[in-house]
Amino acid sequence: MARKTLVIAESKEGQCRHVSFEAIAAAKQLADGGEVVAVLCGDQVEAFGPILGYYGADRVLIVENEQLKSYTPDGYKQALMQVISSEQPKAIVMGHTAMGKDLSAGLAARLDCGLVSDITDLEIGDKPLFIRPIYSGKAFEKKRINSEMLFVTLRPNNIAALEKDETREVTIEVFDVVVKDLRTIVKDIVKKTTTGVDLSEAKVIVSGGRGVKNAEGFKPLQELADVLGGAVGASRAACDAGYCDYSLQIGQTGKVVTPDLYIACGISGAIQHLAGMSNSKVIVAINKDPEANIFNIADYGIVGDLFEVVPRLTQHFKEV
């Protein structure tokens, strides 16, 4: 059954977020032949219009307003309520990002319709089924939404984006909105220095635990991540010990990641850590204890000292 589907796209630091392209691929399936419309809110985001089309959107709506320069719940909800009321989509898809989590719940509540969050897959039919991990990734449930309009958020790195095709014809429209009486205004954003690759969207993550021993011990991990074009993550024990920032924490109380490759260095494999990374496509564990639990879920295990193994891997990948 064809259903018009809206994708709420996101840009960050001068780039369209990759999960937005994945959301377009999911929306294509969900639309089942219906139109896929991508909407991007912000200030000076018009340049991103074509790329959303190259990744499969049939039409792109650019919502430019200086009040939407930074995400605020009331500003974005006001703007998107106007888009939704004009477009009348049957389904609305976005990334399961900080913005997507907040926005989807708020909009679904305002419109009194269903929301299924953090999906990793979907099965299409008259009533689509959404698949999402539960119990910290130990099981998957299939959900069906019965409301007329439905919201879906998508866990990054699970549904592959379509091949980028720059020959696709894209219709780009400017959609004017009225945004007023904002209760929140972002005056300034103070950023932490990061390596550039967003942990939640990284295809490769090199993660360190208590076995890394100190902040200095993270340097070889960063070098390996740089060579592989990835990001560095950490266990909570490493964050608690002050070896690295809490923004790197992966697990039940940290970030949930699904990279193509997760390299766990000096991490024992506590259940709370596994909750954040066990759905990674390939897991490599480096640990000097052959009995470490991480080896039970690893695809490849290296029993050894990470300070010997990691530099050798870096050297090897530099040469290939």
Closest C-alpha among 149, 120, 296, 310 to residue 220: 310
Q: Is 266 annotated as a binding residue?
A: yes
Locate all alpha helices (DSSP H) within the chain, ordered by sequence: 18-31, 49-54, 73-87, 98-111, 219-227, 236-240, 271-277, 294-297, 306-319
Q: Which residues pair with 173 in a beta bridge?
A: 61
φ/ψ bin of 44: left (φ > 0), alpha (ψ from -120 to 50), beta (otherwise): left
287 binds ligand FAD (CB under 6 A): yes
Stretch near ligand FAD under the rule CB under 6 A, chosen from 29-37, 119-127, 219-227, 229-237: 229-237
Helix, strand, coil share of the chain (percent; to 5): 35, 25, 40
Name, in order, each residue with C-beta under 8 angstroms of 281's C-beta and a sequence gap of 6 or more.
Answer: 258, 259, 260, 261
CB-nearer residue toward ligand FAD: 230 or 254: 254
Residue 210 annotated as binding? Answer: yes
Is 162 one of the binding residues for ligand FAD (CB under 6 A)?
Answer: no
Which is closer to ligand FAD, CB of 164 or CB of 312?
Answer: 312
Cα 67 from Cα 54, distance rounded (Å): 28
Give min distance, CB of 320 to ligand FAD, in A: 24
267 binds ligand FAD (CB under 6 A): yes
- Is 275 annotated in some ligand binding site? no
- Does position 123 bind ligand FAD by CB under 6 A? no
Phi-psi region of 106 (alpha: psi -120 to 50; beta: other; left: phi over 0): alpha
Shortest CA distance to 158 belongs to which of 256, 64, 237?
256
| By the rule CB under 6 A, 272 interacts with ligand FAD | yes
Nearer to ligand FAD among residue 59 and residue 273 (C-beta): 273
Q: Does 280 bind ligand FAD (CB under 6 A)?
A: no
Site for ligand FAD in 166-225 (CB under 6 A): 209-211
In this chain, which of 78, 268, 280, 314 binds ligand FAD, going by CB under 6 A? 268
Q: Based on the shown chain and the rule CB under 6 A, indicate whether residue 292 belongs to the binding site for ligand FAD.
A: yes
Shortest spacing between CB 101 and ligand FAD, in angstroms: 17
Backbone angles phi, psi at 90, to 5 degrees: -90, -30
Residues forming contacts to ligand FAD in the complex (CB under 6 A) are 209-211, 235-238, 249, 251-254, 266-268, 270, 272-273, 276, 286-289, 292, 305-307
Annotated binding site for FAD: 210, 235-236, 249-253, 266-273, 287
